[in-house]
Structure 1
Amino acid sequence: MGTQRVGWTFLTAVGAGATIWCTHFVAMLAYQAKVAVTLDPVLTIASLIIAVVGTGLGFGVALVRRHILFHVTGGLIVGTAISAMHYVGMAAYRVDGIVEWRWPYVLASLVCAALFSGAAAAMLGTDRSIKYRRLIGAALLVAAIALLHFVGMTALRITPLALSQTPLDPGQLHALGLATSLVGLVVIGAGVSAAFIDRKTRSDAMEKLHHMAMNDALTGLPNRISFQRKLDRLLDKARISGSELALIAIDLDRFKEVNDIHGHKAGDDVLVAFARRMRQEVGEQGFVARLGGDEFVALRPYVDRDELATLVTGLDAVLKAPLRLGSFDAHLGASIGVAIYPQDATTADMLSNNADLAMYRAKGSSIFGPCYFDPEQDDAVRERRELANDLRHAIDANQLDVHYQVQASVVTGEVTGYEALLRWQHPERGDVPPEIFIAIAEENGLILSLDEWVLRRACADATGWDHQTKVAVNVSPVQLAHAGLPQLFHQVMLDTGLPPRRLEIELTETAIMADRDRALHVLRQIKALGVGVALDDFGTGYSSLETLRAFPFDKIKIDRVFASELESSPEATAIVRAVLALGKSLSIPVLAEGIETDRQLEVLQREGCDEAQGFLLGYPASGPVSGQSPFGDAKPLPQQASAEQVA
């Protein structure tokens, strides 16, 4: 930027200085002295140099800082250069006569040049909001040059003497004047041409920058900023005309699979192809933008609902149509949500939000088609999104809590461990059940952060216990699928100082079966660290004997549904007996969950169960745990409360 400024200052100095010099000498050549005239070439060239250097110095000072003092100082230097050029030029103007100067006029000409030049520079460098500031500044500079010349020439008085032997004849004067004018015009033309070229270059560059700022680089579609501006304009038009406007939120389905399987280049090709399809389907009357990732949005004013329905159905069809890319066919589809102004919303933010809600409902719906905004149905979606934002904040702000439920030996009553159970006390909604906020965490990509938070908190708490019992932590299917899970366990135990033998993870067979070979490999790495692995909720999922054979679990946990029927269902008792026998044959301890009555505990003792967990032994509680046997203080579950209500 500094080099460019110096270059333009030089061009300005050459153009302005040469123009001032040409103006002076053309005017002097037109002056009728009524005596023979000659021109001193050295002083003539010197006057040109003074004009160029002086104006360049003045403009340079004026550009040092955007301050009135620098502007005025630079203008005064320009005015001084104009005066010096004029009077040096007059010294080069040799006449056969006596030259007299009337000094009051000379002084007046110097003052006029300085004042008007300073005012011109101040005007050109001042606030750009002033109307016609450039025109006013140029007029002031012209006034400085003109006043200097005419007032200065008024100060000149010539008394003719003998004629010179080599005067300039009228033809030579005209030729010199024409040459000087042509030189001035060439310089001015060059400066103007350079200015136009620079402006055109700047205009093209600004246009490109504006296009880059307002459009998506990959698809060429308008971006989020363009969408917001377009939406505001269309809403204003709709308010004036009383028409309706549809906002269509679009999120591609299974796009991540394309990236994961075929690479990001294939993903980019899919986005470009679908962008082209949507642009063609919406037509010239509509507007399509890419908000980011695989999220798109369309705007379309319409006359009747049939027209809108045709558009939405067409978009759904072109997005579900197969897409051939190289050696593979992409079958994606999209979740589409529609909100209508003014029926569904009256502001831009509300309209966008309601279209998103309808789109999220379409994503989670079994209908597999576009969804129109429905206040009753989408209120539930809105609430879940608000809960997701609150949960994200709770994780970051450490506002969650971990409760611990005791696990004990059925035979001896000795405490064998505590299961860590996550709890969330919302500041406004109160207690949020785990089955709600864990599902929300899975839907919104928060489950990994949530699982790591619980793991770190449970290990840190267990380190501070005054006994050496185990702490059991649940592992979600998403966390089990994460390649860095063994490293995470290792790092957490290093950070907290918890011995691996005191940590046990619990996971369901459903989590394992999502990718059985990979899951078993990860579990073997975790077990190699010395961490125990328990199979949770056994009996309700696959209950595959092959899984038990393939991996040496440290514990099997029978689901609470069987414990709740031990007193009344012989079938439930038979299933528990079979699982216990299976565990003994494989040398795997078995723990029964959901023990709430003495009768259920008696059945387990009779059948030879190893461990038990439930409200009979103790409710989940926060804070330090005692490590003492729970049987002496066991209390039956109150009749008016169910297990789910207490949990």
Structure 2
Amino acid sequence: MLLLISALIVCIAGSWITMRIMARIAATPERQNHSWYLQCAAAGATTIWCTHFLALLAYMPGVAGLLNIPITLFSFVIAAGGVLAATVIATTSKSRMGPAMGGAVLGLAIAGMHYSGMYAVDFGEHMAWSAPTIVLSLLLGMAFGTLSLQCLLRSGNRHCELLATVLFVAAIAGLHFVGVSAMRTTMLSADLTAGGNTPVVLGVALAITTLLLVATGGNSFSIDDATRAESYERMRQMALHDALTSLPNRVSFNDHLDQVIDAARKDATQFALIGIDLNKFKEINDVRGHAAGDAVLVTIANRFTEMLGAGEFVARLGGDEFAAVHLTSDPDELNAFVARIEEAINLPIPIDDYEVTTGGSVGLALFPKDATDKETLVTRADLAMYRAKADPVRTVAYYEPSMDETVREARALAADLRTALEKGELSLHYQVQTAIATGEIFGYEALLRWNHPERGEVPPAQFIPVAEENGLIIPLGEWVLQTACAQAAHWDPSCKLAVNLSPVQFFHPDLSRLVQETLENTGLPPARLELELTETSIIDDKQRALEIVRRIKELGVSIALDDFGTGYSSIDTLRSFPFDRIKLDGSFMKGIETNSDAAAIVRSVLALGRTMNISVLAEGIETPRQLEVLRGEGCVAGQGFLLGRPARPEALGLQPA
């Protein structure tokens, strides 16, 4: 009885492992893991072979002494080869009959093992066979084998592995018992009885060994499942989280926002979407390097993670841009959450032996008060964030309907500007540049003006940013350069022309070619043209900016650094770039008569210019006292309303082209 129970356990456990491995092989793309084929052949063959001999020992204990060992071992090879062939056919065949053909081969493998195993028993002349019963056993094995693999690989039933296992057990057991009944032996029962407990010990040892092999296969399968689950989870983590900060990424943010919106619509609740942008991140990257920038992002991300409570979510969308979601209808709770965000981005960040502070701008939009769909909600949170970024006083802004009006106005202005460029509504005014010591005019700065047929005079401070944001600054800049050079070609040859370059225009790859072609087409000598750029134009990529400046200088055109004293202005920039002139920002002129600090700054810049042999032009001169102070400090050139307001070329006595 013990051997029969062992045979049953071996058959069921081995069949289940074999079917699971075969299902895994079928699900593996392009059948890449060939080791599973060997695992399946070993598990299936061991199950068939051991079930057969355990049952044989149970019914005929004396058989153990009659076995031909080589043939017995060869019967295992038959089983292994048959299971391997069945698996390959069933899992790789492109025909719908593949599983059925594999199942038929599996039935033949069971039969081949059974009858070769029986042949290994030396009954001598005491054994006879029943051909009809043998045929019946073959048909049973092939039928149940076919049904087993057909169920495993073609059925959509979620219990298919269990049912396939039952059918595989039926194939093994059915063929064995019918096959045994096909044999007739005339040996006496005493001849088939072994002494002592030798058959039992042998059978139990065989069963234990088999179960260990089956357990090994099952363990391999479990390890593979765990490895796949771990790999899947790791890939999912990579797909949904930012690699640097481990915060949820844009994909995860969009998915979370969709879920939050669905829940808010269902429950009629409110939540806040918060856009976050760091203010000084670019400066930290430029000055301290990208490693410092990464450290800043990681530190702030860790602070965000630590501060999160129930119903709160933060993601990194890219660069220095973050987004947060807060589920609440309580204004105090929302304000407390925003305060925590501000604290996280405003606290100093230690990096090596120094500290940096980024600060940031925060914009909020409420669902459903400000928007009822995701795209509009995100857009309005961004609008609020940009309003906060543009405001010098506040760093947090809630969405207001007027922000949409501002955007619409900017779009309308961009469309009008494009039309103005096509219809010739733009014009150039010029402002004189004067030698302070003598009052002699030595040049003019070209200033773009727009007289809109309905809006009237549109200030450059209003339409230039719009042109930069909408890609119009390139054709606009080309028009200014072409027109100014064409007009200046007819002036007094001693007068220079100064033209401003926007940051976008400065980094245009065709700038030096454009300048060269413009000079050739208009006939203006290169020495009479001075191009002005601000330090904000070159701070992004100093090496590339230096190459552009050198190419322009090679044409014979001079370069001026505009608005010096504001923004990023540094001595290193003056030392690195071959500037011909420094234009001192007009903001320093307002306090030069009475403010000793302002006067000291002007005096220092003038001294710096003399030391570096760079001419200094003071902008914004509006009073005689300012001019007198500059003259006393040895300033060479000036520009401002006192010396001359911007005017059309004909009003200045300049002959237009």
State whether residues 12 and 56 of structure 1, in contact with CA within 8 Å, keep that contact through their aligned partners in structure 2: yes
Say if 1:303 and 1:111 are closer, same or farther in 2 by CA, change over 3 A.
Answer: same
State whether residues 57 and 64 of structure 2, in contact with CA within 8 Å, keep that contact through their aligned partners in structure 1: no
Q: Distance in 2 between matches of 1:7 and 1:240?
A: 51
Aligned to 1:415: none
Amino acid paired to 2:347? A
Query: Is 2:186 aligned against 1:142?
Result: no
For residues 41-84 of structure 1, give each alpha carbon's deviation from its aligned partner in whole angstroms, at most 9, with x where no partner exists.
Answer: 22211111111121122212333356534333333322221111
State whether residues 500 and 529 of structure 1, in contact with CA within 8 Å, keep that contact through their aligned partners in structure 2: no
The aligned runs of 1:62-211 (5 Å cut-off) are: 62-64=90-92, 68-95=96-123, 98-126=126-154, 129-154=156-181, 156-161=182-187, 168-169=194-195, 171-211=197-237
Query: Is 2:82 aligned against 1:54?
Result: yes
SS of 1:275's equivalent in the other structure is helix
Q: Distance in 2 between matches of 1:271 and 1:475?
A: 36
Say if 1:173 and 1:522 are closer, same or farther in 2 by CA, change over 3 A.
Answer: closer
Post-superposition shift, 1:32? Answer: 5.3
Post-superposition shift, 1:185? Answer: 0.7
Amino acid paired to 2:398? Y
Post-superposition shift, 1:612? Answer: 3.0
Post-superposition shift, 1:303? Answer: 4.3
State whether residues 422 and 454 of structure 1, in contact with CA within 8 Å, keep that contact through their aligned partners in structure 2: no
For residues 332-386 of structure 1, give each alpha carbon's deviation from its aligned partner in whole angstroms, at most 9, with x where no partner exists.
Answer: 2111011112222223333222211211111112332211111223342366489
Say if 1:103 and 1:527 are closer, same or farther in 2 by CA, change over 3 A.
Answer: same
Q: Distance in 2 between matches of 1:147 and 1:179?
A: 24
Say if 1:150 and 1:192 are closer, same or farther in 2 by CA, change over 3 A.
Answer: same
Query: Is 2:417 aligned against 1:363?
Result: no
The aligned runs of 1:255-404 (5 Å cut-off) are: 255-381=281-407, 384=410
Q: Distance in 2 between matches of 1:91 and 1:496?
A: 102
Post-superposition shift, 1:307? Answer: 1.4
Post-superposition shift, 1:94? Answer: 3.3
Say if 1:405 and 1:45 are closer, same or farther in 2 by CA, change over 3 A.
Answer: same
Amino acid paired to 1:152? G
Amino acid paired to 1:594? R
State whether residues 403 and 422 of structure 1, in contact with CA within 8 Å, keep that contact through their aligned partners in structure 2: no
**Identity, % of aligned positions:** 32
Q: Distance in 2 between matches of 1:57 and 1:246?
A: 62
Say if 1:501 and 1:362 are closer, same or farther in 2 by CA, change over 3 A.
Answer: same
Amino acid paired to 1:174? V
Post-superposition shift, 1:489? Answer: 3.5
State whether residues 535 and 562 of structure 2, in contact with CA within 8 Å, keep that contact through their aligned partners in structure 1: no
State whether residues 498 and 531 of structure 2, in contact with CA within 8 Å, keep that contact through their aligned partners in structure 1: no
SS of 1:611's equivalent in the other structure is coil
State whether residues 428 and 447 of structure 2, in contact with CA within 8 Å, keep that contact through their aligned partners in structure 1: no
For residues 468-497 of structure 1, give each alpha carbon's deviation from its aligned partner in whole angstroms, at most 9, with x where no partner exists.
Answer: 999x99653315765xx7x74445589999
Aligned to 1:428: none
For residues 197-230 of structure 1, give each alpha carbon's deviation from its aligned partner in whole angstroms, at most 9, with x where no partner exists.
Answer: 1112222222222222221121121112222222
Post-superposition shift, 1:249? Answer: 1.0
Say if 1:512 and 1:92 are closer, same or farther in 2 by CA, change over 3 A.
Answer: closer
Post-superposition shift, 1:7? Answer: 1.0
State whether residues 311 and 326 of structure 2, in contact with CA within 8 Å, keep that contact through their aligned partners in structure 1: yes
Q: Distance in 2 between matches of 1:259 and 1:245?
A: 34
Aligned to 2:501: 476
State whether residues 337 and 360 of structure 1, in contact with CA within 8 Å, keep that contact through their aligned partners in structure 2: yes
Amino acid paired to 2:400? D
Q: Tell me the TM-score normalised to structure 2 length.
A: 0.67
Query: Is 2:265 aligned against 1:239?
Result: yes
Aligned to 1:631: none
For residues 539-576 of structure 1, give each alpha carbon's deviation from its aligned partner in whole angstroms, at most 9, with x where no partner exists.
Answer: 998599989998899xx9x99xx9xxxxxxxxxxxxxx
SS of 2:197's equivalent in the other structure is helix
SS of 1:94's equivalent in the other structure is coil
Aligned to 1:439: 465
Which residue, out of 54, 57, 70, partners 1:29? 57
State whether residues 304 and 344 of structure 2, in contact with CA within 8 Å, keep that contact through their aligned partners in structure 1: yes
State whether residues 127 and 185 of structure 2, in contact with CA within 8 Å, keep that contact through their aligned partners in structure 1: yes
Q: Distance in 1 between matches of 2:94 and 2:144?
A: 19
Post-superposition shift, 1:118? Answer: 2.8
Aligned to 1:40: 68
Q: Distance in 2 between matches of 1:551 and 1:148?
A: 103
Q: Distance in 1 between matches of 2:412 and 2:33?
A: 53
Q: Distance in 2 between matches of 1:385 and 1:26?
A: 86
Say if 1:69 and 1:208 are closer, same or farther in 2 by CA, change over 3 A.
Answer: same
Amino acid paired to 1:51? A
Q: Distance in 1 between matches of 2:537 and 2:185?
A: 113
Post-superposition shift, 1:310? Answer: 2.0
Say if 1:84 and 1:331 are closer, same or farther in 2 by CA, change over 3 A.
Answer: same
Q: Bigger CA drift: 272-281 or 496-505?
A: 496-505
Q: Bigger CA drift: 332-341 or 258-267?
A: 332-341
Q: Distance in 2 between matches of 1:387 and 1:172?
A: 101
State whether residues 61 and 192 of structure 2, in contact with CA within 8 Å, keep that contact through their aligned partners in structure 1: no
Q: Distance in 1 between matches of 2:273 and 2:41?
A: 57
Q: Bigger CA drift: 59-68 or 282-291?
A: 59-68
Q: Distance in 2 between matches of 1:159 and 1:91?
A: 13
Aligned to 2:241: 215
Aligned to 2:648: 594
- Paired residues, what number? 535
Post-superposition shift, 1:329? Answer: 2.6
Q: Distance in 2 between matches of 1:527 and 1:16?
A: 82
SS of 2:394's equivalent in the other structure is coil
Q: Distance in 2 between matches of 1:612 and 1:290?
A: 55
Unaligned runs of 5+ in 1: 395-399, 409-418, 426-431, 563-581, 584-589, 596-600, 614-647
Post-superposition shift, 1:402? Answer: 9.3
State whether residues 222 and 289 of structure 1, in contact with CA within 8 Å, keep that contact through their aligned partners in structure 2: yes
State whether residues 506 and 535 of structure 1, in contact with CA within 8 Å, keep that contact through their aligned partners in structure 2: no
Q: Distance in 2 between matches of 1:227 and 1:51?
A: 55
Q: Distance in 2 between matches of 1:223 and 1:477?
A: 34
State whether residues 99 and 146 of structure 2, in contact with CA within 8 Å, keep that contact through their aligned partners in structure 1: yes
SS of 1:68's equivalent in the other structure is coil
Q: Distance in 2 between matches of 1:116 and 1:387?
A: 79
SS of 1:93's equivalent in the other structure is coil
SS of 2:122's equivalent in the other structure is strand
Q: Distance in 2 between matches of 1:233 and 1:355?
A: 18
State whether residues 215 and 223 of structure 1, in contact with CA within 8 Å, keep that contact through their aligned partners in structure 2: yes
Post-superposition shift, 1:451? Answer: 5.2
